[in-house]
């Protein structure tokens, strides 16, 4: 019987094979090149085709491993360990925001390839941060059988690093995104946007300071959603482009030059 893990990896494998064949035929391949792995003709763009073929091979191997080990069910684990019963399973962990942030980082990289090199760099930095945080979260959740001890272990390791680094990166990203929004707005619109954002930030800070018992998850959710909104607005503004600036006046030397919309 085919396991759930095998079905998942086999689906990824089939999708990668289809992508390789499609990429080959749309990049100048011959009639039988893509379906014969280049044995009977050309495969089109070699790098793209090879990347998809290698991905299909990796997914296929993972599918074979999943069905061979029966998705690591309790009976298979006990048989591999040579014991009568499998060890206790890891405690259930809560939901994670890192997959959503990782998807946003990938989208930022893709948009940055077309729109702006600055957005591309922002997307790469976001992916690096998400990869580090997600890896450490996955490790800490399975370090022991006690969720509280796992959380404390992660706090001791990452807090001294992630707070200053993520603060600097976050400030840089938000400043860059807001600058794109202000440059894409009109003169009066930029003043209005800056005023509204400032009032929202001040209001949120005042509310959180007046209610110190607000759950930490609520505060984190509000901050994450706000940062995502600013980043999305910056991406849209960068895609729209800056408003036109016209110099008023002329001459050289000490002549007065005004910059207007």
Say what the pLDDT of residue 82 is: 67
**Do residue 140 and residue 231 come from a single domain?**
yes
252: in domain: no
Say what the pLDDT of residue 217 is: 79
105: in domain: yes
CA 70, chain centre distance (Å): 31
**Do residue 77 and residue 151 come from a single domain?**
no
**What are 83's two structure tokens?**
């014991």
257 three-class SS = coil
Contact yes or no for 32/41 (Cβ under 8 A): yes
Contact yes or no for 105/127 (Cβ under 8 A): yes
Say what the pLDDT of residue 79 is: 64
Say what the pLDDT of residue 143 is: 64
Beta-carbon contacts of residue 220 (< 8 Å; ≥ 6 apart): none
C-alpha to C-alpha distance for 67 and 64, rounded to whole angstroms:
5
86: in domain: no
Say what the pLDDT of residue 88 is: 60
256: in domain: no
pTM, two decimals, is 0.42
Say what the pLDDT of residue 221 is: 82
**Do residue 156 and residue 111 come from a single domain?**
yes
Say what the pLDDT of residue 249 is: 56
State the residue range of the domain holding 234.
98-246
Q: Which residues of 31-48 are buried (b: 16+ CB within 10 A; e: fewer)?
A: eebbbeebeeebbbeeeb
**Number of folded domains in the chain?**
2
Residues of the chain with pLDDT below 70 are 1, 70-94, 143-146, 245-261
**Do residue 20 and residue 53 come from a single domain?**
yes
């Amino acid at each position: 019987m085919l396991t759930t893990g095998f079905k998942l990896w086999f689906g990824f494998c089939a999708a990668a094979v289809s992508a390789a064949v499609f990429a080959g035929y749309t990049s100048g391949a011959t009639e039988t090149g893509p379906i014969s792995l280049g044995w009977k003709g050309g495969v089109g763009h070699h790098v793209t085709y090879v990347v998809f073929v290698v991905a299909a091979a990796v997914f296929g191997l993972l599918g074979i491993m999943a069905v061979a080990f029966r998705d690591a069910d309790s009976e298979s684990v006990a048989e591999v360990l040579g014991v009568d019963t499998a060890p206790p399973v890891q405690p259930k962990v809560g939901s994670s925001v890192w997959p959503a942030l990782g998807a946003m980082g990938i989208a930022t990289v893709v948009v940055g390839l077309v729109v702006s090199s600055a957005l591309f760099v922002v997307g790469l930095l976001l992916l690096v941060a998400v990869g580090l945080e997600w890896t450490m979260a996955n490790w800490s959740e399975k370090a022991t059988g006690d969720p509280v001890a796992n959380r404390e272990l992660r706090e001791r390791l990452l807090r001294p690093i992630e707070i200053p680094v993520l603060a600097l990166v976050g400030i840089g990203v938000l400043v860059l995104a807001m600058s794109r929004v202000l440059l894409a707005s009109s003169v009066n619109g930029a003043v209005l946007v800056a005023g509204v954002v400032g009032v929202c930030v001040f209001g949120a800070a005042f509310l959180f300071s007046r209610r110190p018992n607000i759950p930490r998850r609520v505060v984190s959710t509000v901050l994450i959603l706000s940062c995502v909104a600013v980043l999305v607005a910056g991406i849209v503004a960068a895609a729209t482009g800056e408003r036109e600036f016209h110099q008023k006046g002329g001459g050289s030397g000490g002549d007065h030059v005004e910059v207007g919309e």
